[in-house]
């Protein structure tokens, strides 16, 4: 007994393929619209670029999907993500839309929102640069703006402040020591016979007697140094 197997005709195969092709975008749109793992994106081209703002079209959308696929590859370390895994829906003329990311092995399964957020935050600066925008003009709603990398100083700031404080203290100590030494010198000079505060400035006292004749041309006559011939003759 022979069993006759009827092979599908060419028309049946073509119809099946067309059904898959037509249903794929519909399924993708449903995944994008109804999923809670999607992100809304707002883009402000006029605010960022003014008169130089470019038109948001299918090519720009393609670039966006490419950058998101890049971000997912970089975060996961897998090269299986492509633009087909980035689904976009709910486009508006004011340039806002929603996107989701599907598993490369199973397009009907979505990547959890938390994992997509980590990928976006890791590559946000690269995504911004691709569109000449910033965190304020390329906004992923629900994803906090990325923070700038903190400046790394060769010398810790606290060490600089500590050095400045120590320097001020050292200057104060030196000034105090110089002031003390200066006072001691003035006191010694006064005790030695120099009166800097009175009217007889520069007058030297000899044996307790003021020698006011120092300011005179002849000076003070000292007999100890007199050249008297009466005492030198034999």
Cα dihedral value 127, 128, 132, 138, nearest 10: 120
Count Cβ atoms within 10 A of the Cβ of residue 38 and give its class: 0-12 exposed, 13-18 middle, 19 or more buried.
buried
**Per-residue pLDDT at 43:** 95
Domain that holds residue 58: 27-141
pLDDT at 131: 95
Over the stretch 155-177, which tens digit does the pLDDT of each residue have? 777 888 888 899 899 998 988 88
Count of beta carbons in the 10 Å neighbourhood of residue 28 = 18
Per-residue pLDDT tens for 170-220? 998 988 888 888 888 888 777 776 555 555 544 555 555 555 544 544 555
Torsion of CA 123, 124, 126, 130, to 10 degrees: 140
CA distance 123 to 131: 13
Q: What is the pLDDT of residue 16?
A: 41
Calculate mean pLDDT across residues 45-53.
92
Whole-number average pLDDT of the chain = 77
For residue 68, what pLDDT is reported? 96
Domain count, the chain: 1
Domain membership flag for residue 105: yes
Q: Can you give the pLDDT at residue 137?
A: 93
Is 182 a member of any domain? no
Residue 24: predicted pLDDT = 45
Calpha distance 101→94 (Å, rounded): 23
Rounded CA separation 188/181 (Å): 11
**Phi, psi angle pair for 214, to nearest 5°:** -65, -30
pLDDT at 22 over 50: no
The pLDDT of residue 18 is: 45
Asked whether residue 87 carries a pLDDT value surpassing 80, the answer given is yes
Q: What is the CATH number of the domain that holds 76?
A: 3.30.70
Question: Which phi and psi angles does 26 have, rounded to 5°?
Answer: -65, -45
CA 202 to chain centre: 66
Whether residue 217 lies inside any domain: the answer is: no
Residue 229 domain flag: no
Instruction: Flag whether pLDDT at 84 surpasses 90.
Output: yes
pLDDT tens digits for range 101-157: 999 999 889 999 999 999 999 999 999 999 999 999 999 998 887 655 555 667 777
Q: Is position 32 within any domain?
A: yes
* Residue 51 pLDDT level (bands cut at 50, 70, 90): very high
């Amino acid at each position: 007994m022979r069993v006759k197997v009827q092979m599908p005709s060419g028309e049946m195969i073509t119809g099946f393929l067309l059904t898959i092709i037509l249903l794929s975008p519909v399924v993708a749109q449903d995944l994008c619209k109804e999923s809670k793992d999607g992100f809304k994106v707002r883009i402000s081209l006029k605010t960022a670029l003014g008169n130089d703002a470019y038109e948001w079209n299918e090519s720009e959308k393609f670039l966006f999907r490419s950058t998101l696929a890049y971000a997912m590859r970089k975060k996961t370390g897998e090269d299986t993500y492509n633009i087909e895994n980035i689904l976009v829906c709910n486009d508006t003329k004011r340039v806002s839309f929603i996107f989701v990311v599907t598993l490369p092995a199973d397009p009907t399964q979505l990547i959890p929102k938390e994992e997509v957020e980590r990928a976006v935050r890791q590559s946000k600066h690269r995504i911004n640069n691709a569109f000449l925008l910033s965190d304020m003009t390329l906004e992923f709603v629900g994803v906090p703006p990325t923070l700038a990398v903190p400046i790394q100083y060769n010398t810790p700031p606290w060490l600089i402040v500590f050095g400045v404080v120590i320097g001020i203290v050292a200057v104060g100590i030196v000034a105090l020591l110089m002031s003390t030494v200066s006072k001691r010198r003035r006191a010694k000079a006064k005790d030695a016979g120099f009166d800097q505060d009175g009217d007889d400035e520069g007058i030297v006292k000899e044996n307790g007697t003021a020698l006011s004749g120092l300011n005179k041309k002849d000076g003070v006559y000292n007999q100890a140094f007199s050249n008297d011939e009466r005492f030198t003759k034999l």
